[in-house]
Amino acid sequence: MTRFFYFIFLIVLIFVSGMFGSSLLWALALIWLLILLAMVCLTWVLQKEVQIHKTYTVSSFHKNEDLLLPFTISLKGKLPVFKLRVIFTTSFENEPQKKRHKIMIEPKAIHFSYFPEYCGKWDLQIKAIQVYDWIGLYYKTIRFPQWITSIAILPEEIPIPLQLNDALGKGTGTERNRTSSVQGENDLEIKDIKEYNGKQPLRHIHWNQTIRFEKIYVKEFEKESPGALSIFCDYGRRNTHSSLQISFYHQLVYSCLMTCLQKGHICQLGIQTKDSIYVCPVDSLMSLDKVFTDVLLENMDSYSTCTEFPFDLKVTWENTIIDAQDQIYYIKESA
């Protein structure tokens, strides 16, 4: 647009100079033309000095986060770069059509703002990068015919009001975590023995200490940490659903695991694919992001497999979270 304005202004200036026969206007038009020629020469020099380097980055971002640029720009000379225009296409995991985008970024930028509609796997193809000169008049187009990278857009970090049953994570055997159990004092570890203050339960009296010192002493137990939870999700069916449903499912699985972690549980995620059930340990938000990145980018070679996966909770494609007895724990409302 700037270049178009410069040329239009030159044509109008020449036209007015010829109409009025003014030597001053002709001189101004000649100076303007020389400036344009100088700009073209400087731009040509700049284009010879610009280099674009592809970079390998960890391609996973949370939804509504700025994306890290997959390239760096370097200059040999001293002429500055005014701006960059990145032309790229994107396609969601089950959508054959590609969307074309153009964004302007600063030459020293390391991120660019592009917010996909859905969380999941996106294929991003850099088609071309236009490097504008120091005044933004001309640009050099650098084309990349085969520059495709897959990006995992992770769900937002949104917990859900998931009320977990205390029985979850305490079962054993093939029906693990499906039955409740009653826990007695013998199952808990004694943390300390303290003098009775009138608030502790009398059933926790430590009789030996009480008889010895002729004062009432009670046992204080270690608070039991929440048990490990096995959570199952079926990703073998995701290609049969719409993009919006897939995004909802990603968010529900992620939010379920995040909520369990916040409640102190260590999780074990069972992922059903077309061929196998992969078992993925999740003990922190960092490991949750890594597991989700591997799931979305289908990089599951580092995880063990099994033929059966006893679960505590199951995330269904009907936007519900259920347990082994089909008891509903949570229902996610569709947008």
Please report, as a single letter, which amino acid is at residue 274. K
Please report, as a single letter, which amino acid is at residue 262. Q
Q: Can you spell out the DSSP letters for 185-197?
A: GGGS-EEEEEE--
Q: Report the run of H or E that residue 221 belongs to, with start and end.
A: strand 217-221
The answer to whether residues 60 and 151 touch, using CB atoms and an 8 Å cutoff, is: yes
25: alpha, beta or left? (left if phi > 0; alpha if psi -120 to 50): alpha
Is the model more confident about 23 or about 110? Answer: 23
Is the model more confident about 290 or about 27? Answer: 290
Quick check: 174 pLDDT over 70? no
Rounded Cα distance between 277 and 314, Å, is: 14
Asked whether the CA dihedral 137, 68, 74, 100 is positive or negative, the reply is negative
- pLDDT of res. 269: 92
Tell the residue number behind the tokens 């509903």, with chain if given: 328
Quick check: 178 pLDDT over 60? no
Q: Indicate the pLDDT class of residue 145, thresholds 50, 70 and 90.
A: confident
**Low-confidence winner among 25-39, 129-143, 211-225 (lowest mean pLDDT):** 211-225
Rounded Cα distance between 264 and 150, Å, is: 33
Pick the CATH number of 55-154 from 2.30.30, 2.60.40, 3.90.1210, 3.40.50: 2.60.40
Tell the residue number behind the tokens 């296409």, with chain if given: 89
Its pTM stands at 0.67
- pLDDT of res. 199: 66
Rounded Cα distance between 93 and 240, Å, is: 11
- pLDDT of res. 39: 72
- pLDDT of res. 250: 92
- In whole angstroms, what separates CA 39 from the centre of its chain? 43
- The CATH fold assigned to 229-331 is Rossmann fold (3.40.50)
**Rounded percentage of the chain residues whose pLDDT exceeds 70:** 78
- pLDDT of res. 311: 87
**Tens of pLDDT, residues 4-22:** 676 777 777 777 777 777 7
Q: Indicate the pLDDT class of residue 150, thresholds 50, 70 and 90.
A: confident
Rounded Cα distance between 152 and 247, Å, is: 12
Is the model more confident about 320 or about 226? Answer: 320
**Low-confidence winner among 30-34, 86-90, 110-114, 242-246 (lowest mean pLDDT):** 110-114
Q: Report the run of H or E that residue 198 belongs to, with start and end.
A: none
Rounded Cα distance between 100 and 93, Å, is: 16
239: alpha, beta or left? (left if phi > 0; alpha if psi -120 to 50): alpha
Rounded Cα distance between 296 and 303, Å, is: 14
Question: Which tokens sit at 22?
Answer: 């003014």
Q: Indicate the pLDDT class of residue 280, thresholds 50, 70 and 90.
A: very high
Q: Report the run of H or E that residue 130 belongs to, with start and end.
A: strand 120-132
Quick check: 235 pLDDT over 80? yes
